[in-house]
């Protein structure tokens, strides 16, 4: 994905880190100077399930930059 975006002239970085996922996503975005955070979600169809224990709402509620959610299709 990164190679494809770079080939289109988009400034993209990918970083692998270990730790608490929401905290690491947010600290990496801040240290890298991210202008947006893109996250994949399965969006299980139940809005309550989305908010219960999910990394995504924790990132969304604490992020200083916009968060773009991309729905991932379920494997059949």
pLDDT value of residue 67: 96
End-to-end CA distance of the chain: 22
pLDDT value of residue 47: 63
**C-alpha torsion 54→59→28→44, nearest 10:** 40
Q: Is 67 helix (H, G, I), strand (E, B) or coil?
A: strand
pLDDT per residue, tens digit, the chain (76 aa), is 789 889 999 888 888 899 999 999 999 999 989 999 999 887 666 666 566 678 888 899 999 999 999 888 766 5
Largest separation between any pair of C-alpha atoms in the chain: 39
pLDDT value of residue 65: 97
């Amino acid at each position: 994905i990164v190679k494809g975006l770079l080939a289109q002239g988009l400034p993209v970085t990918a970083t692998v880190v270990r730790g608490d996922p929401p905290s690491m996503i947010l600290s990496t975005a801040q240290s890298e100077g991210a202008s947006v955070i893109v996250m994949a979600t399965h969006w299980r169809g139940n809005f309550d399930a989305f908010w219960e224990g999910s990394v995504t709402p924790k990132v969304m509620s604490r992020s200083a930059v916009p968060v773009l959610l991309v729905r991932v299709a379920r494997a059949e």
